[in-house]
Structure 1
């Protein structure tokens, strides 16, 4: 009897040792998403303990993107992104994590293989090979685009490179990577988009054989030449009012179902900012973060802000759920309206006939106290663009001050 008991205890101890629970290690990790053709999109993140709960902090340049929804069930880990409606479904394996990043696109899901290892603080290479210099401004051309529609800005310290690509419809946010000999490698993961840029440096002033990977399948060729005078067209010149229109007219419900239109009393004699946006759009998120602070600064002086959301689905409840996550994340104090249209640019143009040449998200309309559309700003140069962002803020707020100083007519 005793012998049987000892055998049972020994078996229990052995089983317990073999099934020792996994713990998500604190510290720096290196994660890699895999594209369809096998290229890896790397990024670094930190796992922290905050208030007794695990927190993931994703690094892209100077950006620190915090993720608080982390759940562990046995050897499985589930990480829900606070924005963009995506998530990780992972398992502990091979001294790290592996599984899928799943992006929900309204009518379908797209998944990418993912693996991560703790204790690795490098992005592409542990030791870079004889880095060459890419610091400065470049004119870039992506396959299918017209010239002078993309500008690249890079800053380099040793082999580490940060920067972004700016386009007429927005920027590629915070990119980070390296120069490995004559090869430039940059990546970004923000919960909504996974980007990888690769190119060869030919001589000092030319980037050739460029490839841009976005998500699981997208792949686009690009090249660039160094050009310190490169600049984009004026963002206020790209989208205009349709001839015969002076005002914007719409009536869409907010997340509670209440219809809102510019003819409502709360907008009378006010400067109104209308942001055409979507919860799926990272540039829109950068603009929303700015507009929240802008609203706090200008609302008491007579400014109102509205967001018109064009989601990936026409399902009101699905759109509502996505927008409520955004409202909570940014503490948005102004209304976001659910248009009932998708993010197809043709649908956006059809829903707002007063706008001509709608080119992308976000687009911002500045309306004066008489209800007339005075300016339309296409795209958004976010905080990852450095001076472009500060210059936008200065110009946008000067325009606001000027419109507030005007007297209403009629």
Structure 2
């Protein structure tokens, strides 16, 4: 299923498709759709809610549906008998021909230069189930699961993730926590002795399948990601499963007390922690990338938080590590991110998202291990806390605990 085409070739293909067949007056039946991407691991289902815009009959509001998340895509537009649903932040889109209550086409994502990855896509209106329709089951997977991605043994000898699931009837929602972030909103079903989970957010494409062994309470299966990724995985039910402390993984090198940097914003203005805006302020430094959905979850928390708290004497600065260090390429992506999340604090281009290169860009740190990583700096300019990764809202109580701890620390530093 691995497919690479030039961006120009695919654009031409769909321009020709859009100009053929039905007339330009074709419209999309509004409502909820059960959408499917055809991956190497099989069908990857997710929900779509498509509604016409109030002021333009050729424009649609579209949301991707995963568990409790309604993820807003960019405004969708008609092109002849086809609809184009973009997610510009992640340089991806769904393009499909309208055939009654069915959409058929492709998902495509730009990777490097003119190369894009594609997968077949289709969606049918009127269905809300994920993998299988709602049904009763005696299997319950609610709880925490010590998980090892990469294990081919069927045994959990190491733990590099913790699954947190909640089940109602045969529907399962939850995510996997890892030391560098979470797998966002997973949604799926139990069918017989098998678990199926999936997520689509415009960037991440996750499909999980596993067989449940009730005798020893283990799950053994496979995980398909994107167009080509695959990992076996095994999990053991364990209410006490834990990950390493996220405050212990990234730290300052011996002798360092703060973070020294000077990077440009897209407008060319250079930003450093020695700038007057940060003087005598508690400052949050966010290592992120516009390509990173976990970073977007954190930004979705930090942007409104900053609006509510900036008058207390706090500042935020984002260090963006993008796929290209060329401002002409990455500057517009940073600006799109700022516009989407209504970010009022500066975002600078710090380098590329290669972690080795990112570590060189911030030599005061032992390493950059994850995007996002968050540093909290006191009024004297000294780093007081570093949090690797981010437990987003898809993790439920783990996100709530993060927000509580974050606010408690900020309150303490503001009061000093």
2:236 pairs with 1:225: yes
Partner Cα distance (1:20, 1:321) in 2: 32
Q: Report 1:51-200 matches (<5 A).
A: 51-52=54-55, 53-93=59-99, 95-107=101-113, 108-126=115-133, 128=135, 130=137, 132-143=139-150, 147-200=158-211
DSSP-derived class of the 2:89 partner: coil
Partner Cα distance (2:263, 2:321) in 1: 11
Aligned-pair CA distance for 1:298: 2.1
2:29 pairs with 1:25: yes
The TM-score with structure 1 as length reference comes to 0.90
Unaligned runs of 5+ in 1: 1-16
8 A Cα contact 1:129 1:180, kept in partner: no
Distance 1:249 1:130, change over 3 A: same
1:276 match: 287
DSSP-derived class of the 2:32 partner: strand
- More deviation, 17-26/232-241: 17-26
Partner Cα distance (1:131, 1:254) in 2: 55
8 A Cα contact 1:187 1:194, kept in partner: yes
2:233 pairs with 1:202: no
DSSP-derived class of the 1:298 partner: helix
Partner Cα distance (2:323, 2:96) in 1: 26
DSSP-derived class of the 2:274 partner: coil
Aligned-pair CA distance for 1:374: 1.3
Runs of 4+ in structure 1 displaced over 3 angstroms? 17-21, 127-131
- More deviation, 86-95/73-82: 86-95
Distance 1:89 1:164, change over 3 A: same
- More deviation, 101-110/370-379: 101-110
DSSP-derived class of the 2:247 partner: helix
8 A Cα contact 1:133 1:204, kept in partner: no
Per-residue CA deviation, residues 252-277 of structure 1 (Å, 9 max, x unaligned), is 11121111111111111111100000
1:355 match: 365
Unaligned runs of 5+ in 2: 1-20
8 A Cα contact 2:31 2:50, kept in partner: yes
Partner Cα distance (2:216, 2:296) in 1: 34
Partner Cα distance (2:386, 2:324) in 1: 26
2:12 match: none
DSSP-derived class of the 1:239 partner: coil
Aligned-pair CA distance for 1:207: 3.2
DSSP-derived class of the 1:126 partner: coil
8 A Cα contact 1:34 1:216, kept in partner: no
8 A Cα contact 1:176 1:187, kept in partner: yes
Aligned-pair CA distance for 1:303: 0.5
1:41 match: 44
Q: Report 1:307-322 matches (<5 A).
A: 307-322=318-333
8 A Cα contact 2:23 2:80, kept in partner: no
Aligned-pair CA distance for 1:88: 1.6
DSSP-derived class of the 2:413 partner: helix
Aligned-pair CA distance for 1:167: 0.4
Partner Cα distance (1:236, 1:146) in 2: 24
Distance 1:68 1:100, change over 3 A: same
Aligned-pair CA distance for 1:293: 2.2
Distance 1:127 1:385, change over 3 A: closer
Aligned-pair CA distance for 1:40: 1.3
Aligned-pair CA distance for 1:50: 3.2
8 A Cα contact 2:49 2:63, kept in partner: yes
Choose the corresponding residue for 2:388, options 378, 383, 387.
378
8 A Cα contact 1:69 1:82, kept in partner: no
Aligned-pair CA distance for 1:67: 2.1
Partner Cα distance (1:32, 1:187) in 2: 10
8 A Cα contact 1:128 1:181, kept in partner: no
8 A Cα contact 2:313 2:414, kept in partner: yes
DSSP-derived class of the 2:90 partner: coil
8 A Cα contact 1:77 1:91, kept in partner: yes
DSSP-derived class of the 1:404 partner: helix
Choose the corresponding residue for 1:329, options 324, 336, 340.
340
DSSP-derived class of the 1:266 partner: helix
